């Protein structure tokens, strides 16, 4: 995976980000049929072309597979899903640490916060 953790400034980027999370957390299970472009566009209140662009990104990442005349499905390739989840987590944490660094939060601050959150 080469994408970075970033909801994106474009609407299609934000949609791809949100759907990626739903796929990686199992809200859309492996092998399940994905909602149609039209149904997602209606649900999200956006142009179908915007949804199509977001779904094309997810297809490019291997998370969705297009089956002619049947629709799109979440990949059943557990290696793809596992690798995408690992990349997403890594990218998320890199983003968090980068933002924290910008405002002066140190590694010790993180460790202290996490120790106080446990138990």
- Domain architecture of the chain: domains with CATH: 11-117 (1.10.10.10)
- Which residues in 65-102 are b (16+ Cβ under 10 Å) and which e? beeeeeebbbbeeeebbeebeebbeebeeeeeeeeeee
Range list of β-strands (E), 11-77: 64-67, 71-74
Tokens representing residue 40 in the block: 């997602």
Question: Which tokens is 47 given?
Answer: 């142009």
Mind listing the pLDDT tens digit for each residue in 33-87? 999 999 999 999 999 999 999 999 999 999 999 998 899 999 999 999 999 999 9
φ, ψ dihedrals at 13, nearest 5°? -65, -40
pTM (predicted TM-score): 0.80
């Amino acid at each position: 995976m080469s994408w970075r953790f970033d909801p994106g400034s474009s609407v299609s980027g934000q949609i791809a980000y949100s759907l990626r999370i739903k796929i990686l957390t199992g809200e859309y299970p492996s092998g399940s049929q994905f909602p149609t472009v039209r149904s997602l566009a209606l649900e999200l209140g956006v142009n179908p072309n915007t949804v199509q662009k977001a779904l094309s990104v997810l297809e490019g990442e291997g998370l969705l597979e297009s089956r002619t005349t049947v629709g799109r499905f979440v990949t059943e390739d557990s290696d793809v899903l596992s690798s995408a989840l690992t990349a997403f987590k890594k990218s998320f944490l890199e983003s968090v640490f980068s933002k924290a660094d910008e405002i002066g939060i140190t590694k010790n601050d993180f460790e202290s916060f996490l120790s106080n959150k446990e138990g």
